Structure 1
Amino acid sequence: MTQLPEDNSVKPVEQDKDRGNQLFPVFIKLNNLHTVLIGAGNVGLEKLTAVLKNSPRARVTVIARTILPEIHALASKYAGVQVVNKSFAEYDLNTADLVIAATDDSDLNNYICQAAHDRKLLVNVADKPDLCDFYLSSIVQKGDLKIAISTNGKSPTVAKRIKEFLNREIPDEIDDTLQQMSELRNSLKGDFAYKVRKLNEATAVLVESKKAKPDNKMFVRWLIWLTSIAAVGISVVSLWYREPAFQNYVENIDPMFYYFLGAGFVFSMIDGAIGMSYGVTSTTFSLSMGVPPASASMAVHLSEVLSNGIAGWMHYRMGNVNWKLFKLLLIPGIIGAVTGAYLLSSLEHYAHYTKPFVSLYTLILGLVILSKAFNRKPKKSADKIKKISLLGLGGGFIDAVGGGGWGSIVLSTLIAGGRNARFSLGTVKLSRFFIALMSSLTFVTMLNSGHWHAVAGLIIGSAAASPIAAKISNKISTKVIMVAVGVIVVAISLRSIVNFIIKVI
């Protein structure tokens, strides 16, 4: 008998069969099935919430002796949910298509599992992966796009973290892309191969590498750095010939410089974490240190030229810029900022009277920041703000007059209107560079300020913090920071207003 040679090439395939996640992913139309959920405690509530969040019209029967009030409250909002207050019996599964066991009794869960298998039904048993025929995955949803995440029952915590990552990285605008692709697909004429080719061409941008557009990347980089250098050059030359105080400042550094240096660094780090408040915190601090409103606003905007140029470039490199939104904000924002800077500079001689109004403005912004800290849920994408250019015009004007507010007003409005937080932050930062540049040039050409310690300190401090702040913008919990900033801004603004009232009286 001839012996066949060994085929070693088959062994790795055989060895790999039992490795990795063996689950087959499917999406089930629960609207057409009957799901029976046994258990109405905290675990049952979690399972029911997950089912209804993904399939609001699912038919679910909840069976349990003890039922949480939250179960009844949730069931009252969905017509397909029925709650039955009784002990489980095998006949409860006679009309079931899927079964979920979510009781805190291990023996009862085993009994439910066996009863389901006797009827050839698929069952999920909470916290018992070995007894499960299917798992309830962590879900990422952006409109019609839905992604299910499975760790093969090994670690729901890892699945949760991956869900958070994908929710952050996938823009909400992907749903708009899906709708447009659906319309394109329905409009295409021709054979199957032609349609596939056209759809592949239309979606190629979604998987384009960052190297696919080197010219655009190079253009933005040179635009930011050249305009930064030009702005610094114009400011230095103008100040050198028009301000003797500036020349003396170079030789004799005011000790106050170091206070503004530290303040600029701290405020820029806070701004990088929550996407707003640099202007309002810096202006509030400057006013409390005796700097007039127009000079305070000039100091803030000059410091923001370099810091926002760096931050905007970092966000651009990380792909955080929505270019359509950027174009809608830029020109109106510049017009509003230049107009506001001109108006405030013209009133510099009346700083004693304008200061309480600016303090009132920073007080309002402080209250806005506090309100955002406790209510950060964005609206649905269907409620997105439409008048972007008007928002940019008003935001630029108020920002220049009040020494800050571009982030607090524009970014908050965009996010509250349902826009993606990461893309909104990157776009607002980049547009802020050009707006701060133009308002700064307006201030410099109109003012004869002697508060260069504030200007230099804020410029150097904020520029040093900007690269770090851009990288941590998605990694820090913001609520505590926003509360602290809001309280400080409100307290200092109230102090300034009260002091003014006391002087008047």
Structure 2
Amino acid sequence: PIMLDLHDKKVLFIGGGFETESKVLRLLEAGALVTLLSPLAHPALEAPPAPERLTWLRRGYQQGDLAGFQLCFAHPPDRSLNTLIAQEAREREVWLNAVDDPAHCDFILPAVHQQGDLLIAISTSGVAPALGVRIRQRLAQEYGPAYAEYLRLLRTFRPLVQQTYPHDFEARKAAWYRLVDSPALEHLAQGEVETARQRLLEALHNQATPEVAL
């Protein structure tokens, strides 16, 4: 498992398949600079978010198109093209994801549940993607919108923890466990933001708070 920072990274998407729109939009959300090869209509991409990050060449794949890229997604209507695309990817040392074609993949994409900065990825190693989706749906019920607010609040505590324990890593680590074990999340789930903040402040300074085993 790996998390890639795609911000300002050049990504080639050889599209036309039914998931082209959704996958290109996710790449744009991640901040990638996407070059799309597809002669077909994709209404959702006619006016995408961050249009300056999308270059759309309205044609299909041609030998040599992977030059200059480190990452490529292949989702052509004719899957037989994946063999040629994968061959060029190997020659140019480009990481390739061929959608629903694990035999031609250097990496696969997990099912993802996201709430703000919380990102949970589930993979069945390509065996049964539908199972990954079902697990993601169950996780979505447990890790709801309160977690997005929780992480926004915890982000504000990063400098406070550093300032409170500037030279003691073990103390900082213990403080973080006190923060995440505090009842702040429960208060956020009830919409009590200021109460949650107060509970985190108490946990930050209360070194006597019981801790979980590390």
Aligned counterparts of 2:3 and 2:182: Cα–Cα separation in 1: 27
1:60 aligned to which of 8, 19, 34: 34
Computing the radius of gyration over CA atoms, which structure comes out larger, 1 or 2? 1
3-state DSSP class of the match of 1:100? strand
Indicate the residue corresponding to 2:196 in structure 1.
none
Whether 1:192 aligns to 2:192 is no
Change (3 A) 1:74 1:67: farther
The 8 Å contact of residues 38 and 101 in structure 1, kept in 2 or not, is answered as yes
Aligned counterparts of 1:76 and 1:175: Cα–Cα separation in 2: 22
Query: Letter of the aligned partner of 2:136 in structure 1?
Result: K
Aligned counterparts of 1:72 and 1:174: Cα–Cα separation in 2: 30
| Deviation by residue 1:314-341 (Cα, 9 ceiling, x = unmatched) | xxxxxxxx5677698xxxxxxxxxxxxx
Whether 1:44 aligns to 2:28 is no
The 8 Å contact of residues 149 and 159 in structure 1, kept in 2 or not, is answered as yes
The 8 Å contact of residues 12 and 66 in structure 2, kept in 1 or not, is answered as yes
3-state DSSP class of the match of 2:36? strand
Change (3 A) 1:326 1:26: closer
Aligned counterparts of 2:84 and 2:94: Cα–Cα separation in 1: 13
Q: Displacement of 1:107 after TM fit?
A: 2.4
| Deviation by residue 1:252-283 (Cα, 9 ceiling, x = unmatched) | xxxxxxxxxxxxxxxxxxxxxxxxxxxxxxxx
Structure richer in strand, relative to its length = 2
Structure richer in helix, relative to its length = 1
Indicate the residue corresponding to 2:206 in structure 1.
none
3-state DSSP class of the match of 1:175? helix
Indicate the residue corresponding to 1:259 in structure 2.
none
> Superposed, which structure 2 residues align to 1:372-411 within 5 Å?
none
Poorly superposed stretches of 4+, deviation over 3 Å: 74-77, 322-328
Aligned counterparts of 1:84 and 1:197: Cα–Cα separation in 2: 53
Change (3 A) 1:87 1:177: closer
Gaps of 5+ in 1: 1-24, 207-321, 329-505
Gaps of 5+ in 2: 193-214
3-state DSSP class of the match of 2:46? helix
> Superposed, which structure 2 residues align to 1:302-451 within 5 Å?
none
| Deviation by residue 1:328-379 (Cα, 9 ceiling, x = unmatched) | 8xxxxxxxxxxxxxxxxxxxxxxxxxxxxxxxxxxxxxxxxxxxxxxxxxxx
Indicate the residue corresponding to 2:142 in structure 1.
169
Q: Displacement of 1:205 after TM fit?
A: 4.0
Q: Percent identity?
A: 25
Indicate the residue corresponding to 1:242 in structure 2.
none
Q: Displacement of 1:67 after TM fit?
A: 1.6
The 8 Å contact of residues 14 and 60 in structure 2, kept in 1 or not, is answered as no
The 8 Å contact of residues 16 and 75 in structure 2, kept in 1 or not, is answered as yes
Whether 1:152 aligns to 2:125 is yes
Aligned counterparts of 1:325 and 1:116: Cα–Cα separation in 2: 47
Change (3 A) 1:84 1:187: same
Q: Displacement of 1:51 after TM fit?
A: 2.4
Indicate the residue corresponding to 2:56 in structure 1.
83
Indicate the residue corresponding to 1:402 in structure 2.
none
Query: Letter of the aligned partner of 1:151 in structure 2?
Result: T
TM-score (norm 2): 0.77
Whether 1:30 aligns to 2:6 is yes
The 8 Å contact of residues 61 and 83 in structure 1, kept in 2 or not, is answered as yes
> Superposed, which structure 2 residues align to 1:104-115 within 5 Å?
104-115=77-88
Aligned counterparts of 1:94 and 1:327: Cα–Cα separation in 2: 51
Aligned counterparts of 1:136 and 1:200: Cα–Cα separation in 2: 31
Q: Displacement of 1:117 after TM fit?
A: 0.9
| Deviation by residue 1:434-487 (Cα, 9 ceiling, x = unmatched) | xxxxxxxxxxxxxxxxxxxxxxxxxxxxxxxxxxxxxxxxxxxxxxxxxxxxxx
Indicate the residue corresponding to 1:139 in structure 2.
112
Indicate the residue corresponding to 1:8 in structure 2.
none
3-state DSSP class of the match of 2:4? coil
3-state DSSP class of the match of 2:150? helix
Indicate the residue corresponding to 2:73 in structure 1.
100
Change (3 A) 1:102 1:145: same
The root-mean-square deviation of aligned C-alpha atoms, in Å, is 2.6
3-state DSSP class of the match of 1:90? coil
Change (3 A) 1:115 1:324: closer
Q: Displacement of 1:143 after TM fit?
A: 0.8
Change (3 A) 1:58 1:198: same
Aligned counterparts of 2:33 and 2:16: Cα–Cα separation in 1: 16
3-state DSSP class of the match of 1:196? helix
Whether 1:201 aligns to 2:175 is no
Aligned pair count reads 188
Q: Displacement of 1:90 after TM fit?
A: 2.6
TM-score (norm 1): 0.35
Change (3 A) 1:198 1:62: same
3-state DSSP class of the match of 2:141? helix
